[in-house]
Amino acid sequence: MRIAVINETSAADRNADILAALDGLGHDVVNAGMKKSGEKPELSYIHTGLMAAVLLNAGTVDFVVGGCGTGQGFLNSVMQYPGVTCGHILTPLDAWLFTQINGGNCISLMLNQGYGWAGEANLKFIFEKLFCVQPGSGYPAHRKGPQRESRELLGRLNRITHHEMTEILTRLPGEVVSPVAAYPGLIKLVESRPGIDRVIISTLKNRLKG
Amino acid sequence: MRIAVINETSAADRNADILAALDGLGHDVVNAGMKKSGEKPELSYIHTGLMAAVLLNAGTVDFVVGGCGTGQGFLNSVMQYPGVTCGHILTPLDAWLFTQINGGNCISLMLNQGYGWAGEANLKFIFEKLFCVQPGSGYPAHRKGPQRESRELLGRLNRITHHEMTEILTRLPGEVVSPVAAYPGLIKLVESRPGIDRVIISTLKNRLKG
Amino acid sequence: MRIAVINETSAADRNADILAALDGLGHDVVNAGMKKSGEKPELSYIHTGLMAAVLLNAGTVDFVVGGCGTGQGFLNSVMQYPGVTCGHILTPLDAWLFTQINGGNCISLMLNQGYGWAGEANLKFIFEKLFCVQPGSGYPAHRKGPQRESRELLGRLNRITHHEMTEILTRLPGEVVSPVAAYPGLIKLVESRPGIDRVIISTLKNRLKG
Amino acid sequence: MRIAVINETSAADRNADILAALDGLGHDVVNAGMKKSGEKPELSYIHTGLMAAVLLNAGTVDFVVGGCGTGQGFLNSVMQYPGVTCGHILTPLDAWLFTQINGGNCISLMLNQGYGWAGEANLKFIFEKLFCVQPGSGYPAHRKGPQRESRELLGRLNRITHHEMTEILTRLPGEVVSPVAAYPGLIKLVESRPGIDRVIISTLKNRLKG
């Protein structure tokens, strides 16, 4: 699986912990956001939410690991867009249930609140459980059917409630889309996988010009 | 403040605990969803998410307390709609920070996972902290400005990424909208406040006919 | 390793979850306390604390998994005795740190408070991390030396602050020691391992007569 | 109530947060241990455990707030002594239940693990709930009787399993007792309340000489 790690400014110093915790699990990890605190350009959770949505909707990555100080900001930001199912994941149990029940493609981590000494070990335990079970396999097992139906219905209504991603990219204010389109390496990253959505790329590039 | 409590089927037995925990805080509480497990008609988190969005967008209530087994399902459901900022709230600290930083109008509670003996006391402590601080007052205080800017930007992009609520109500599949429109007391509840959005009401009533 | 599971009355219904969670980890597990709620004779945390201390001090088992509604009662009960280092363990991270830093021989689980749906999965994750690292290996690694010194000092002062276990068994009031000595299978269990402390056994048997 | 705050070295930097969180609750707070990291003389959890036991057994304070990185070290250290009932307290709910059910005189806080941004607010919420209910009032209310009986039995067996505090103070190794007896202000603090146990004081002073 291809996973993007995307950190915003308030918890940028957790980026190294997240990368280390994902290491060794056999996934292709791309580090798309901020690497440390104070680094320029800065990304707010508004920007990392859009960045996650672009990478998921273009098909560049299969999963996004994001977050912010409490996890609520990135969660609300990324959930504005189509094609995203995001869990607020604090413990290994949260992770294990989210994969089985919700089968999502994004998580929001709590990276300042309650993030103390040994927080990096907790991240490791979270990722172990997030990726050790089949997405959508259901929990408990006998609830697999109704849980799948809810996920499918959520997917259908997601397309009804949201505008198309390209239309969104065209209409978003510059202060939201420009820092994302211009973020070092981002457009190159979006294009880095065969079969991605070319319209999203070209729309993003157009916003870069304007 | 007018608060709607909305329970789906898997955690419907927590409804009494939530009402008891809200009691005495001085709010006008309406109990809009399921009251206990096994009750008919059943509502899934798909339905309670829409119900919450209708009540908030129509202006019937100021705040929605929802949730599900893990809290992730209702969270992802209600976040499909415009006009909703929802926190995943497990502790009094989560509540207190969410009000100050995110100033949201909805929370999703974890009502089966980790919900054991004395869970009703934890709910009480959560609500105390959720409603004891000024929404959007900022935490820490010196971050009030940037946090407000992020909230405002989130509000603007929310209207850009989503279709209008009435359009959504018109286009949603019947299996999503009908159980909500037909839910006992729901339409009467939506209409129960002066100054609400009449178009949302009439759209909902139309779906009831069709 | 030989592990005793010991449940008191308030959380006796968790006994099956604990056994299931320990299953498959390759340990020799003995189920020494209550198996389900309402069963007679009942054991309070006062009794299970003594039972744990007897099994550890006699050398019958290497580790005790106990607990109660909040975990605080069993913890305070078992810590009255010599030869016990007990952790209050709620999460996999707690477990993993406790083994490395404290290298204890007992844990107290929170079995009603916060014990909800999927609690049995959390127990499984706790035991995985409790037993996957070397006791006393230190965390972080460079703190191994000072952490070992503290553990050794704790062990020395433990013998200074407490009376001998046999003296304690002789002097404890009947309402504490009798339900333990007379508990079905307990004395047989204590004797079930070669090389155990015969004086503790004979003292316990004497109390049974008196 | 008179409360001693006692920090060991690994989490000494939390001392200011604890004092701030206790402020305004109407208690007489004494700051008996380390004030910040790196300060000399250093106290390990072995020392702060003894210090807490001396202050409680002498009658100098009514309650001790201690802790360490995970909370498990101080907990196991202070529980070696007679006259101590200690809770491992991580949340407001833990605090509120501990006071009602266990009616203890000591808590051990987790001050590095999981202690992140806004940790000081969590401490404040913990203390609010720890001191807002009557110790030993029982939870739920109808369990008041059996819970009191368990506490009283625990108190009686505590005196049977432990040596007398003065005997302990006489026999403890110098590396445990000397740093406590010689800690700046400690003996003066122990003597600072009318009606305290003079034998404990004189024993402690004797150890200072030797």
Mean pLDDT over each residue of chain B, to the nearest integer = 97
Test mutation, B17, B89, B91, B93, chain D, max D CBs within 10 A:
B93
> pLDDT at position D46, please?
98
Q: One-letter amino acid identity for A50?
A: L
Can you say whether the dihedral through the CA atoms of C172, C175, C178, C179 is positive or negative?
negative
Query: What secondary structure letter does DSSP report for C162?
Result: B
pLDDT, average across residues B137-150: 96
Q: One-letter amino acid identity for C158?
A: N
Helix (H, G, I), strand (E, B), or coil: what is residue D31? strand
Contact C116 B118 (CB under 8 A): no
Do C2 and C61 form a contact (C-beta atoms < 8 A)? yes
Nearest to A129 by CA among A170, A76, A182, A92: A92
Helices of type H across chain D:
15-22, 45-58, 72-78, 92-97, 119-130, 144-161, 165-171, 174-181, 186-190, 198-209
- Taking only residues 136 to 195 of chain A, the set having a beta carbon closer than 8 angstroms to any beta carbon of chain C reads 139
Per-residue three-class SS string for C16-33: HHHHHHHCCCCCEEEECC
Contact D113 A114 (CB under 8 A): no
Per-residue pLDDT tens over the stretch D43-63 = 999 999 999 999 999 999 999
The terminus-to-terminus CA distance of chain A in angstroms comes to: 34
Beta-strand pair C63-68/C2-5: parallel
- Taking only residues 22 to 81 of chain D, the set having a beta carbon closer than 8 angstroms to any beta carbon of chain C reads 44-46, 69-73, 75-77, 79-81
Per-residue pLDDT tens over the stretch C14-61 = 999 999 999 999 999 999 999 999 999 999 999 999 999 999 999 999
Paired tokens of B9: 């089927």
D113: left (phi over 0), alpha (psi -120 to 50) or beta: beta
> pLDDT at position B33, please?
98
Per-residue pLDDT tens over the stretch D8-47 = 999 999 999 999 999 999 999 999 999 999 999 999 999 9
Distances, alpha carbon C210 to alpha carbons A25, C32, C55, C181, C203, in Å: 60, 23, 21, 11, 11
Per-residue pLDDT tens over the stretch C67-106 = 999 999 999 999 999 999 999 999 999 999 999 999 999 9
Paired tokens of C197: 């402390």
CB < 8 Å to D122, chain B: 91, 93
> pLDDT at position D39, please?
96
Distance between CA atoms of D1 and D63, rounded to whole angstroms? 8
Is a pLDDT exceeding 70 seen at residue C210?
no
Nearest to C112 among B69, B112, B117 (CB): B117
CB < 8 Å to D114, chain A: 114-116, 119
Kindly report the backbone phi and psi dihedral angles of residue B35, in degrees, each rounded to the nearest multiple of 5, phi listed first.
-105, -30
Confidence class for position A210, pLDDT limits 50, 70, 90: low
pLDDT, average across residues A170-198: 96
Query: What secondary structure letter does DSSP report for A100?
Result: I
Domain ranges, residue B164: 2-209
> pLDDT at position D133, please?
96
Test mutation, D150, D151, D164, D178, chain C, max C CBs within 10 A:
D150
pLDDT, average across residues D123-147: 96
Distance between CA atoms of A169 and B26, rounded to whole angstroms? 43
Confidence class for position A208, pLDDT limits 50, 70, 90: confident
Number of domains in chain A: 1
The count of C-alpha atoms lying within 13 angstroms of the C-alpha of C150, restricted to the half-sphere facing its C-beta, is 29
Q: Which residue in chain B has the smallest CA separation from D118?
A: B93
Establish whether the linkage from the previous residue to C140 is cis, with ω within 30° of 0.
Answer: yes
Size of interface A-B (CB pairs under 8 A): 128
Do D22 and D5 form a contact (C-beta atoms < 8 A)? yes
CATH number at A125 reads 3.40.1400.10
Can you say whether the dihedral through the CA atoms of B73, B76, B82, B88 is positive or negative?
positive
Angle at A119 between CA D118 and CA C92, to 5 degrees: 115
Paired tokens of C96: 């993993």
Is a pLDDT exceeding 70 seen at residue D210?
no
Q: Is D86 on the interface with C (CB under 8 A)?
A: yes
> pLDDT at position B51, please?
98
Residue C164, burial from CB neighbour count under 10 angstroms (0-12, 13-18, 19+): middle
Do C77 and C180 form a contact (C-beta atoms < 8 A)? no
Predicted TM-score (pTM) of this structure: 0.98
Contact C93 A121 (CB under 8 A): yes
Distance between CA atoms of C160 and C84, rounded to whole angstroms? 13
Report the b/e string of B75-112 with b at 16+ CB within 10 A. bbbbbbbbbbbbbbbbbbbbbbbbbbbbbbbbbbbbbb
Distances, alpha carbon D22 to alpha carbons B64, D14, D84, D111, in Å: 33, 13, 21, 15
Q: What is the ipTM of this complex?
A: 0.97
Residue A160, burial from CB neighbour count under 10 angstroms (0-12, 13-18, 19+): middle
Return the number of other C-beta atoms located less than 10 Å from residue A143's C-beta: 15
Helices of type H across chain A:
15-22, 45-58, 72-78, 92-97, 119-130, 144-161, 165-171, 174-181, 186-190, 198-209
Return the number of other C-beta atoms located less than 10 Å from residue D26's C-beta: 8
Test mutation, B37, B109, B113, B117, chain C, max C CBs within 10 A:
B117
